[in-house]
Amino acid sequence: MEYNALKLGVDLSRTDAIVLSHGHYDHTGGLAEVLLCAPNAKVYCHPSAVWDRYSIRNGVAKQVGMPTGSRRAIKSLPEARLYRTKKAMEICQGIGITGTIPRMTGYEDAGGPFFLDPEAKVPDAIPDDMAIWIDTPKGLVILTGCAHAGLVNTINYAKKVSGAEKINAIIGGFHLTGADDRRLRLTAEALLSFNPSLVVPCHCTGDNASALLSASLGNIVKPGWAGLRLAL
């Protein structure tokens, strides 16, 4: 994490706020390292981000929750630097987090075989999934982590809590890997209706979904990658 930041010319010591999109290991694994570099940063997360959680495929349970080091880092933070919230809130002027995103569409789900126990008895809807919204003169910029709440649910709720109507950009993981044709089609149709200027699908969107979005929305779709810089 620190190595990548240095390569990009980013000074982590100047970090004001860290937002955890959800409690999966691949979205929280660098937290302890970043907090060492950013001694004044505040951390925003959902209360359930620290839950134990599992992905179970072919009967094999894999732990996918927050790593132990990251949990310890959160617990060691002074109260004034830790914000556990289920509610939408503005974290600075014109930038906010959605908190818990209501699941309103009938075709979106958490996007995988996720459970709260290794026996696969308790499904994990990933209630901690949340996004960042940024109000810009050109419209709302929405940053998703994995969009486990559903991309369309996420966009609709970000619009509601921010009060914005126009969408400028939608950037992040859309978690459409393995999504069926109906979900992909309805998602593409919804994105067209939002009329964004830029859509940047990242890691968990999947090649098939990214290709379909490109075919449906045209050249406003730009693939995302580590180190990508965007001027918005």
Q: Do the domain assignments include residue 232?
A: no
Q: Do the domain assignments include residue 61?
A: yes
Return the pLDDT at 126.
97
Q: How far apart are CA 160 and CA 142, in angstroms?
A: 12
pLDDT tens-digit readout, 178-216: 899 999 999 999 999 999 999 999 989 999 999 999 999
Return the pLDDT at 17.
96
pTM: 0.95
Q: What is the mean pLDDT of the chain?
A: 95
Return the pLDDT at 7.
87
3-class DSSP state of 114: strand
Q: Do the domain assignments include residue 53?
A: yes
pLDDT at 41 exceeding the cut of 90: yes
The answer to whether 158 touches 100, Cβ cutoff 8 Å, is: no
231 pLDDT band, cuts 50/70/90, is: confident
Q: How far apart are CA 94 and CA 172, in angstroms?
A: 19
Return the pLDDT at 48.
97
Q: How far apart are CA 176 and CA 210, in angstroms?
A: 9
Residues whose CB falls within 8 Å of the CB of residue 183, separated by 6 or more in sequence, listed in order: 107, 108, 176
Q: How far apart are CA 183 and CA 203, in angstroms?
A: 18
Q: How far apart are CA 6 and CA 10, in angstroms?
A: 6
Based on the structure, what is the number of domains in the chain? 1
Burial 60-99 (b: 16+ CB within 10 A, else e): eeeebbbbeebbebbeeeeeebebeeeebeebeeebbbbb
Structure tokens at 60: 């094999």
Please name every residue paired with 140 in a beta bridge, in sequence order, or none if there are none.
Answer: 135, 167
DSSP symbol at 79: G
Q: Do the domain assignments include residue 225?
A: no
Weakest-pLDDT range from 2-11, 66-75, 107-116, 136-145:
2-11
pLDDT tens-digit readout, 140-176: 999 999 999 999 999 999 999 999 999 999 999 999 9
Q: What is the span of the domain harbouring residue 31?
A: 2-220
Structure tokens at 29: 């694994």
Q: Do the domain assignments include residue 229?
A: no
- CATH number, position 143: 3.60.15.10
pLDDT at 119 exceeding the cut of 90: yes
Burial 122-150 (b: 16+ CB within 10 A, else e): eebebbbbbbbbbbeeebbbbbbbbbbbb
Q: Do the domain assignments include residue 115?
A: yes
Q: Which of 204, 226, 232 is nearest to 10 (CA)?
A: 226
* CA 37 to chain CA centroid, nearest Å: 22
Return the pLDDT at 33.
94
pLDDT tens-digit readout, 71-92: 999 999 999 999 999 999 999 9
Q: Do the domain assignments include residue 83?
A: yes
pLDDT at 232 exceeding the cut of 90: no
Q: Do the domain assignments include residue 73?
A: yes
